[in-house]
Amino acid sequence: MGNTKEQILEVLRQEREPMSIGEIGQKVGVSWATAKTNILELSQEGELRIKKFGKNWIIWLDPESAIKGSCAEYRV
């Protein structure tokens, strides 16, 4: 697994809540496109979950958590 993928997983573990691709990219220090590519690969590998809502994507680690309509709903 590449360093960027490991960093993405670590960010999600530390935050313990779903995040957007932009938030993850900013915390890891990579562009949105790089973050999205690595997140999609991790999703295909079954390492995380991803769901698109309109123009936004939310990403989380817990496969048992219920999907909500937006990132903000998880933060309530």
- Antiparallel, parallel or unpaired: β 56-60 and 49-53: antiparallel
The answer to whether the beta carbons of residues 40 and 1 sit under 8 Å apart is no
Backbone phi, psi, residue 13, to 5°: -65, -40
Q: What is the pTM of this model?
A: 0.76
Domains of the chain, residue spans: 3-74
- Span 33-75, pLDDT tens digits: 999 999 999 999 989 999 998 888 999 986 554 445 566 665 5
Please give the average per-residue pLDDT across 28-32, as a whole number.
Answer: 96
Q: Where in the chain does DSSP place strands (E)?
A: 49-53, 56-60
Q: What is the CA radius of gyration of the chain?
A: 11
Q: State the architecture of 3-74 in CATH terms.
A: Orthogonal Bundle (1.10)
**Who wins on pLDDT, 67 or 14?**
14
Structure-model confidence comparison of residues 71 and 27, the more confident one:
27
| Residue 16 pLDDT level (bands cut at 50, 70, 90) | confident
Q: What tokens does 28 get?
A: 């890891």
